[in-house]
Amino acid sequence: MEGPYQHEASDSAYQFTKAAIAKGHEILRVFFYQDGVLNSNKLMDPQADDRHIRKQWSALAIENNIDFIVCVAAAKRRGINDTVIAEGFKIGGLGMLTELAIEADRLVTFRA
């Protein structure tokens, strides 16, 4: 629910997802909501000495074949659309979050 550089929520969610996969847990989907949609912006260009959280997320999605869904309503408010969304991310609606909550054993939220 948080952008990549405002709070540690994005880093915590990334590390949690990575650790869960390493422990053999199945991650059905990661849903990016509110300012969290900013994590999907391929135009993000941090300085060389800073971590590149979007690249980390993209690699995690691709390597593990996980759906990373960006909330369409939150994305539109923040200028995120199909032309700026990074590899590994897809735009979707809140219905996908609802489906996820029904399918999954656990739903974990990260925010400031």
Type of residue at 58: S
Catalytic positions are: 71
In a domain? residue 56? yes
Q: What is the pLDDT along the chain (112 residues), one digit of tens a residue?
A: 898 888 899 999 999 999 999 999 999 999 999 999 999 999 988 888 888 999 999 999 999 999 999 999 999 999 999 999 999 999 999 999 999 899 999 999 998 7
Answer yes or no: is 2 within a domain: no
User: Is 37:10 a contact under the CB 8 Å cutoff?
Assistant: no
Give residue 82's domain range: 9-103
Residue 91: the pLDDT is 97
In a domain, 3, yes or no: no
Distance CA 86, CA 27 (A): 20
The confidence score (pLDDT) of residue 3 equals: 86
